[in-house]
Structure 1
Amino acid sequence: MNSVHQVNIKSLYRKTITLFILCFIFLSFNARSQKVLYQEDHDNKPYYFGITLAANMARFHTELHEQFLHQDSILVAEPLNSGGFSLGLLATARLSHRFEGRFNPQLSFLDRSIAYKLTYPEHDGETSINKKIESVIVTFPLQLKFQSDRIGNFRVYLLGGGKMDFDLASNARARKAEELVKIQKLDYGVEGGIGFNFYFPSFIFSPEIKFSNGLRNIHSRDENLKFSSVIDRIQSRQIVFSIHLEG
């Protein structure tokens, strides 16, 4: 089961990156072939704003607790990939010819799951159970962009930074939690990625792909709960494909 899951993850990653590369090649060819230079004075702006639309592949990164080896009711507990989407605002400040600072708060909707394989069937007769954890996350990323020279109506940039997440749907304080895996409200992590600016007469179209890794253990472990006790640490992982529309 684990090998099949790993193959599915790699397949999703490859499809996402392939789609992103094809989009980049098409738009890059069009931008370079245009003879009219749009928004020539944009680099002189001290700051500018925009909006963000994003899709993501999210999953948990888990580490099993030693109690997993001391029990015989759960054979497997592993995270699954799932999709989500985000909406956000964008504020960028020019620091120098090469560097820009960016603040990109977003509202993200995620469903992340953990798959369990049980030794003994549950009341419905099933030995395979998926525990879905729904999240509504307000994220506050602060990033530094390193950008290339502009080539016609095209530019490439790299970005890196940190983020702070607040899960508005956190179930960490749920009272009736016998069947839950509880997730804490606060998380923080690091991000890195690559993006492209395509200049048009009235806006800048910026597709971007980034990897986002949470650093905090967000698992609110309860040794008395069947599905929670076998897991020690849970950290967040995301691959995010974003479209920024900037002015």
Structure 2
Amino acid sequence: MILSTTTAKAQFWIREGLNRPDHDSYLYYFGISLAYNSSYLHTSKNPRFLENDSIQVANPGAKGGIALGLLATLQMTHRWHLRANPQLVIGGSKYFTYTLKNPAFGEQITETRSMPSTIVSLPIHFKFNSDRINNFRTYMLGGIKYDIDLASNSAARNAENLVKLKKYDFGLEAGIGFNFYLRFVTVSPEIKFSYGLTNVHSRDPGLKYSSVFDKLQSRMIFITLNLED
């Protein structure tokens, strides 16, 4: 009897220390996300790059931006959740640093060409959850994304000094996160890697800054803070 009473009290105290203990019984829940992202372009040089008489070196660079998004999660099983995270990625412009072989009068030997970026990203993820330990749980996620670059310059006509990028992209995403259950909200820091599969380069052999590349594929890293109900 003493042992039973002690066990019951311990379970009561543990449950009393839990924040939002019924959260895992929700069929669906919503939230918002705020992220810092760093993005760059993975390059594949054109086979005739070494024959180029204008460009000697072309290297991609990374810049940071922010992403604002919404969250909608559907609980399929205790372990598996399906999550949609539409977001607006602002900033994080891509750029290339070029070293010219024979710069014209007034040109620098090293030139930088930036490509502004504002992306509407539509990812869908599967989440795999660990057991909840008091007010903490970890999870892994993976899924696909479809991006629309609102700042795409692929239709630009006067593009002599530009590298043209296509408007649409498709890719894979994977990451890991941690749920911290507070009294009224779940706070979830998360890190996520985005791997573009599409060649977003709108290649123009007539443009010296564009002709050196064959394929350009997007790469992003997101460090996110999610707030869920």
TM-score above 0.5, yes or no: yes
Q: Which residue of 2 aligns with 1:64?
A: 45
How many angstroms does 1:72 deviate by? 2.4
The reply on whether 1:42 has 2:23 as its aligned counterpart is: yes
User: Unaligned 5+ residue runs, structure 1?
Assistant: 1-34
Computing the radius of gyration over CA atoms, which structure comes out larger, 1 or 2? Answer: 2
Q: Which residue of 1 aligns with 2:173?
A: 191
**Superposition RMSD in Å:** 1.5
Which of 99, 124, 129 is the matching residue for 2:106?
124
Distance 1:122 1:85 in 2: 37
Q: Which residue of 1 aligns with 2:150?
A: 168
Query: Secondary structure in 1 aligned to 2:93?
Result: strand
C-alpha distance after superposition, 1:173-195 (max 9, x if no partner): 00111111000000000000100
C-alpha distance after superposition, 1:145-191 (max 9, x if no partner): 00000001000000000000000110000011111100000000000
Query: Secondary structure in 2 aligned to 1:66?
Result: coil
Distance 2:190 2:217 in 1: 23
Query: Secondary structure in 2 aligned to 1:43?
Result: helix
The reply on whether 1:133 has 2:97 as its aligned counterpart is: no
C-alpha distance after superposition, 1:72-102 (max 9, x if no partner): 2211011112111100000000000100000
How many angstroms does 1:67 deviate by? 2.4
The reply on whether 1:246 has 2:219 as its aligned counterpart is: no
The reply on whether 1:73 has 2:31 as its aligned counterpart is: no
Distance 2:106 2:122 in 1: 42
User: Unaligned 5+ residue runs, structure 2?
Assistant: 1-15
Percent identity (aligned): 51
Is the alpha carbon distance of 1:152 and 1:76 closer, same or farther for their aligned partners in structure 2, counting shifts above 3 Å? same
Aligned length: 215
The reply on whether 1:55 has 2:36 as its aligned counterpart is: yes
How many angstroms does 1:118 deviate by? 0.6
Q: Which amino acid aligns with 2:86?
A: P
C-alpha distance after superposition, 1:14-45 (max 9, x if no partner): xxxxxxxxxxxxxxxxxxxxx72100000010
TM-score (norm 2): 0.91
Distance 2:97 2:48 in 1: 18
Which of 60, 69, 79 is the matching residue for 1:98?
79
Query: Secondary structure in 1 aligned to 2:74?
Result: strand
Which of 162, 172, 178 is the matching residue for 1:180?
162
Query: Secondary structure in 1 aligned to 2:120?
Result: strand
Distance 2:105 2:115 in 1: 21
How many angstroms does 1:123 deviate by? 4.1
Q: Which residue of 2 aligns with 1:234?
A: 216
Is the alpha carbon distance of 1:39 and 1:67 closer, same or farther for their aligned partners in structure 2, counting shifts above 3 Å? same
More helix per residue: 1 or 2? 1
Query: Secondary structure in 1 aligned to 2:210?
Result: helix
Distance 2:124 2:106 in 1: 47
Query: Secondary structure in 2 aligned to 1:69?
Result: helix
Q: Which amino acid aligns with 1:92?
A: T
- Write out the 4+ residue segments of structure 1 that deviate beyond 6 Å after TM superposition: none
Distance 1:217 1:159 in 2: 24
